[in-house]
């Protein structure tokens, strides 16, 4: 794999040197419905609707998935094992949708950001969403959004201070991954005989639902999208390399585990209910004990498939040695990893990031208790700072949206060992 080295965080000057491209829209938004992002059952319905015979539907669904997800094609013309007649029928009724690509930014360390514009749904306006690709040694992670804005109001998160605009559809979630792979050259060349890209050669190896929004508040679209990510005839990513991060929508946790088998990350951030009620207000509805019980029962949990607990470090709020000890006590018996995230400040935020010694002392207690506790740090923060400098180049993107995504870059969970 050729991903650039990522050891050093970006410095301000590096980021000023970043290339900012505004590629042409790679496809205009079509009025015809898109087949991208449809579950197998819905795709079957779409085929039946244009007269495909019932006994052929299953085979046709497999063919379409193969072309859309394994080969990454964006038009029916290129689906060479589908009869000409059916290709014409498909093109008459549907598209293989692509969002409008507004900007693409490539930083010197290989991190890329795309700003996509999705058409209005119903009465609303078109929305813009950012997707981030982070290459690291031996893997590449795509940070994907599930909503525009967020209805939950976590007090340290800038997205949480903004209005919730709307849920993304499964098509819009899937297309973030498809277009990212297309832009990275991560689909097999069209002349390759079998068209299958070996998994070790891939640039996008991991997907994290850690972009804008709370994925479990957009349950069905997120589930359908993740099933396409994981399906061997879909985007064919290993389930252990797909992570959904939630602030704790407890009733949906067992369901997402059972229906997708993906890895779970929990935005815990506090060890006492009175504090978590303030930091992560959904805690008023689902308390820490209830949340941890859902974690204990998460399907498929084992030492090889641990839950990542995200813990944002807020100066003087949740960063004491007593908090660290309580964190360790609370997680006892749950196969867990702990991800400490130094707070990324945003204009008007009421919190500060603790000093480095405090974070290290906290990490030391957690480590001594036997948990890996990587501190994912300067990279996200440096990109955040740098992005302020790039503001004029991408001013279409609201600062809140940019900040939210950049804050999350620091939270990528490590892979479990195989
Ligand atoms: N809504 C989901 C997923 C997106 S947030 C969730 O809350 O889990 C991804 C991670 O970034 C979460 O752990 C979130 O709490 C954290 N985060 C949000 N704002 C942050 C900030 N300003 N600094 C550091 N981490 C932040
Ligand atoms: Fe929403 Fe997650 Fe931000 Fe909370 S931390 S407001 S759930 S995006």
The domain spanning residue 386 has which CATH number?
3.20.20.70
Q: Centre a 10 Å sphere on the Cβ of residue 244 and count the other Cβ atoms it contains.
A: 25
Q: What pLDDT does 21 receive? A: 41
pLDDT greater than 80 at residue 359: yes
Residue 5 maps to a domain: no
Residue 296 maps to a domain: yes
Examine the fold and report which residue of 60, 93, 126 is the final residue of a domain before the chain moves on.
93
Helix/strand number for the chain, H first, E second: 13, 12
pLDDT greater than 60 at residue 322: yes
Residue 4 maps to a domain: no
Domain of 297 in residue numbering reads as 100-186+200-409
CA of 212 to the centre of ligand 2 (A): 8
Predicted confidence band at 396 (pLDDT cuts at 50, 70, 90)?
Answer: very low
Q: State whether 273 and 367 are in the same domain.
A: yes
Mean pLDDT of the chain: 83
Nearest alpha carbon, ligand 1 atom 1: 214
Residue 416 maps to a domain: no
Q: State whether 225 and 81 are in the same domain.
A: no
CA of 153 to the centre of ligand 2 (A): 6
Examine the fold and report which residue of 93, 108, 143 is the final residue of a domain before the chain moves on.
93
Better-scored residue on pLDDT, 196 or 332: 332
pLDDT greater than 50 at residue 27: no
d(CA 183, CA 171) in angstroms, rounded, equals: 18
Residue 15 maps to a domain: no
Nearest alpha carbon, ligand 2 atom 2: 214
Number of separate domains in the chain: 2
Q: State whether 67 and 160 are in the same domain.
A: no
**Any idea what the CATH number is for the domain that residue 56 is in?**
1.10.150.530
**Kindly report the CA angle at 282 between 278 and 288, in degrees rounded to 5?**
85
Examine the fold and report which residue of 93, 114, 141 is the final residue of a domain before the chain moves on.
93
Q: State whether 280 and 377 are in the same domain.
A: yes
Q: State whether 60 and 171 are in the same domain.
A: no
Residue 12 maps to a domain: no
* Phi/psi at 105 (5° precision): -120, 135
Q: State whether 384 and 365 are in the same domain.
A: yes
CA of 145 to the centre of ligand 2 (A): 11
Q: State whether 78 and 204 are in the same domain.
A: no
Angle, nearest 10°, between helix axes 288-296 and 253-260?
20
Nearest alpha carbon, ligand 2 atom 4: 154
Q: Is 40 helix (H, G, I), strand (E, B) or coil?
A: helix
Instruction: Tell which atom from ligand 2 comes closest to the C-alpha of 245.
Output: 2
Instruction: Tell which atom from ligand 2 comes closest to the C-alpha of 213.
Output: 8
User: Which tokens sit at 9?
Assistant: 């965080």
The arithmetic mean of pLDDT across residues 320-339, rounded, is: 96
Tell which residue, 403, 95, 408, has the closest CA to residue 267.
408
Residue 8 maps to a domain: no
Residues classed as catalytic: 130, 387
Beta pairing partners, 108:
none
Q: State whether 173 and 269 are in the same domain.
A: yes
Q: State whether 87 and 182 are in the same domain.
A: no
- The share of the chain scoring above pLDDT 70, in percent, equals 79
Q: State whether 40 and 164 are in the same domain.
A: no
Q: What pLDDT does 189 receive? A: 67
- Which burial class, exposed, middle or buried, applies to 89 when counting CB atoms under 10 A from its CB (0-12, 13-18, 19+)? middle
Q: State whether 328 and 351 are in the same domain.
A: yes
Q: State whether 56 and 160 are in the same domain.
A: no
User: Which tokens sit at 79?
Assistant: 């689906």
> Which ligand lies nearest to the CA atom of residue 210 in the structure?
1
């Amino acid at each position: 794999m050729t991903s650039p080295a990522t050891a050093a965080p970006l410095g301000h000057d590096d980021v000023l040197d970043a290339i900012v491209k505004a590629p042409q829209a790679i496809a205009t938004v079509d009025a015809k419905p898109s087949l991208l992002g449809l579950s197998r059952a819905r795709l079957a319905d779409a085929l039946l609707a244009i007269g495909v015979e019932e006994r052929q539907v299953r085979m046709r669904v497999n063919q379409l998935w193969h072309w859309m997800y394994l080969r990454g094609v964006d038009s029916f013309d290129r689906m060479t094992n589908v009869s000409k007649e059916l290709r014409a029928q498909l093109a008459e009724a549907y598209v293989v949708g692509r969002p409008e690509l507004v900007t693409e930014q490539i930083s010197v360390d290989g991190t890329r950001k795309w700003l996509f514009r999705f058409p209005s749904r119903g009465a609303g306006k078109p929305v813009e969403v950012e997707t981030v690709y982070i290459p690291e040694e031996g893997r590449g992670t795509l940070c994907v959004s599930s909503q525009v804005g967020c209805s939950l109001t976590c007090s340290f998160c800038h997205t949480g201070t903004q209005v919730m605009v709307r849920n993304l559809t499964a098509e819009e979630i899937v297309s973030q991954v498809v277009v990212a792979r297309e832009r990275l050259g991560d689909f097999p060349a069209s002349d390759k005989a079998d068209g299958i890209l070996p998994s070790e050669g891939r640039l996008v190896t991991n997907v994290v639902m850690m972009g804008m929004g709370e994925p479990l508040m957009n349950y069905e679209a997120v589930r359908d999208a993740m099933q396409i990510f994981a399906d061997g005839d879909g985007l064919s990513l290993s389930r252990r390399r797909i992570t959904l991060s939630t602030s704790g929508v407890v009733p949906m946790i067992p369901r997402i585990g059972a229906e997708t088998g993906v890895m779970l990350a929990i935005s815990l951030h506090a060890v006492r209910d009175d504090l978590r009620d303030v930091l992560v207000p959904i805690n008023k509805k689902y308390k820490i004990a209830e949340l941890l019980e859902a974690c204990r029962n998460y399907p498929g949990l084992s030492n090889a498939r641990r839950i990542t607990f995200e813990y944002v470090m807020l100066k003087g709020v949740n960063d004491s040695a007593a908090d660290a000890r309580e964190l360790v006590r609370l997680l006892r018996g749950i196969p867990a990893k702990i991800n400490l995230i130094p707070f990324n400040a945003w204009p008007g935020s009421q919190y500060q990031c603790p000093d480095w010694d405090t974070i290290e002392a906290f990490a030391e207690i957690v480590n001594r208790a036997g948990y890996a506790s990587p501190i994912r740090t300067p990279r996200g923060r440096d990109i955040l700072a740098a992005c302020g400098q790039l503001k004029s180049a991408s001013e279409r993107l609201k600062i809140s949206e940019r900040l939210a995504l950049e804050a999350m870059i620091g939270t990528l969970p490590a892979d479990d060992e195989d």
